[in-house]
């Protein structure tokens, strides 16, 4: 896997991605990418998580056959 951590000029690993992250175990590739995105967010001087209220929403609210969660953030 191409590890682009720490490079703010890096192209997306999956340019056709639709924004779905499946992090279903601790070594999930998606979880690794999410952690890289968060690191780049902080490196870019963006607000830390204390500025947001997280809400987990079951995917089945939008799709009865869905399994998993959506993470939504609201600015405090």
Question: In the chain, where are the structural domains located?
Answer: 29-75
CA distances from 57 to 24, 44, 45, 66 (A): 16, 28, 28, 11
C-alpha span between 71 and 22 (Å, rounded) = 12
Return the residue matching tokens 């690993």. Answer: 13
Q: Model's pTM, two decimal places?
A: 0.43
3-state helix, strand, coil in the chain (%, to 5): 30, 20, 55
Q: What is the pLDDT of residues 1-50, one digit of tens each?
A: 444 444 445 554 544 555 666 677 778 887 888 888 888 888 888 888 78
Length in residues, the chain: 76
């Amino acid at each position: 896997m191409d590890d682009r951590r720490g490079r703010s000029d890096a192209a997306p690993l999956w340019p056709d991605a639709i924004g779905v992250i499946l992090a279903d175990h601790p070594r999930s590739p998606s979880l690794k990418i999410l952690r890289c995105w968060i690191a780049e967010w902080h490196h870019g001087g963006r607000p830390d998580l204390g500025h947001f209220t997280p809400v987990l929403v079951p995917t089945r609210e939008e799709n009865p056959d869905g399994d998993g969660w959506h993470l939504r953030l609201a600015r405090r």
